[in-house]
A and B are shown apart, each in its own frame.
Chain A
Amino acid sequence: MSWAAHQFETYAIQAHLPKRWVGRVSYLAIVVGDQTPDFVAKFWVYGFDIGGTHYGAAEPFKFHRGWPGAGFSHSLGFALLLAGLVYRFTRSRGWTAGLLLGMAAHSITDINDSVGTMLAFPFSTENFSIGTWAYAATPGGKYLDARAYYSSFGFVMDAFWLVVLLMSAKVLTEAYFRGVIVPADPKVWAWLGRRFPERALLAVYRATFFYGLARMIAWTGWAHLLHPDPLRGWDLSWTGPDWVPAFTLSDLSPWVALAVAAAFAAAIVLAVGRILGPEDSSDAVTVAD
């Protein structure tokens, strides 16, 4: 799984939308879409303790990404189903498109760990992984997972997305918020604007970046500065770190995973293009309300 990458990639997507889509895709929907796969699957992965009894998945990686389990949450089928339901009830093209982009980004980013994602569900229950780092979620909680992720190429992945975001730092500015983000989602921002001052709305928009950066610093600092473990240090080897078992659900070639991810991304882009339609058919171009 990925950690802060899921926060940073939302802004990276926003910054790199094709010009004809800018101001028509809801950023809030991208965030919701990016959080949804783990919102559906994660609660049972680490589990919780009540009265000394642990409740949760016995094999978190199978529940999180497998079938039977919640692995469908990281798939094309689930993304299309959820986006379809949202469009059915809201008729918002901007939200439908944003949800699709966010869920696709999450599912594709997660092919980097050793378990990978069921991108092609419901056509296939095969997991696709390129194994960049080890999937390390265990029933014991997130500490081992965090230490493994922030000692491996997972840290590099977070840093990569942070750099991509900072190279397009204009997306974090007030001018961009007013000129692009609000017009793409006028009803929601207007509703919030009737309850909170604009500085709070701007903070809401920047909060995903804030949280991603803070958790990256906090967990890395905890793992390597405050509680370093000489037996569990940095290991920037492929599918590392080697001090944790790298769970897996498939032995398909990483090249197959990359090809399927590319096809998945193309399908999502085509779907978003169809949803948004020609430029003049947008339903969210004015700051009305």
Chain B
Amino acid sequence: MSGPSPSVRRPALSEPTGRPGDPGWYTRRVELAIYVVAGVTYVVLGVFHKWLLNWVIGPIWLVAWVWLTPLVVERVRTARDRP
């Protein structure tokens, strides 16, 4: 077992993530944007609704954004492209 090699090239933000299950348009920049949006929305809502700031909802909030956003976008695109 070994850790990641230091010589591994850091992927460009414009590259698709290439992970199984990720759509082709899902680049690292898009993923970064989703993390930022998840963070900003959680902080803003959490400031006004403190009950959101707990260790159950916080992690679920991030995972839901990252997991579901591509699914929702794909579904919208499919519906839009349907003749």
Contacts and interface: CB of A to CB of B under 8 A. Distances in A.
**Interface residues of A, dominant DSSP:** helix
A208 B3 CA distance: 21
B4 A199 contact: no
Contacts of B4: 170, 173, 175-176, 178-180
A173 B42 CA distance: 22
Nearest to B63: A203
A226 interface: yes
Q: At the interface, is chain B mostly helix, strand, loop or mixed?
A: helix
A206 B35 CA distance: 10
Contacts of B58: 207, 210-211, 214-215
Interface residues of B, number: 32
B55 A218 contact: no
Contacts of A210: 35, 38-39, 42, 58-59, 61-62
A203 B3 contact: no
Nearest to A183: B1
A175 B17 CA distance: 12
Contacts of A211: 55, 58-59, 62
A210 B59 CA distance: 7
Contact of A207 (B17, B20, B59): B59
Contacts of B47: 218, 221-222, 226
A223 to B, nearest CB: 10
Contact of B17 (A178, A199, A219, A282): A199
B1 A175 contact: no
A259 interface: no
A183 B62 CA distance: 23
A258 interface: no
Interface string B9-45: 0000000010111100010000100010011001100
B55 A282 contact: no
Contacts of A217: 43
Contacts of A285: 1
Contacts of A71: none
Given A35-B55, A214-B43, A199 B19 contact: yes
A197 interface: yes
Given A175-B4, A179-B2, A179-B3, A197 B19 contact: yes
B62 A199 contact: no
A257 to B, nearest CB: 27
Contacts of B1: 22-24, 183, 282, 285-286
B62 A197 contact: no
Given A196-B67, A199-B66, A203-B66, A215 B46 contact: yes
B19 A198 contact: yes
A199 B43 contact: no
Contacts of B62: 203, 206-207, 210-211
16 contacts: A7-B55, A22-B1, A23-B1, A24-B1, A143-B50, A179-B4, A180-B4, A198-B20, A198-B22, A207-B58, A207-B59, A210-B62, A214-B46, A218-B43, A222-B47, A286-B1
Interface of B: 1-4, 8, 17, 19-22, 26, 31, 35, 38-39, 42-43, 46-47, 50, 53, 55, 58-63, 65-67, 70
Q: 9 shortest A-B CB distances, which residue pairs?
A: A211-B58, A197-B21, A207-B59, A175-B4, A200-B67, A203-B66, A23-B1, A179-B4, A218-B46
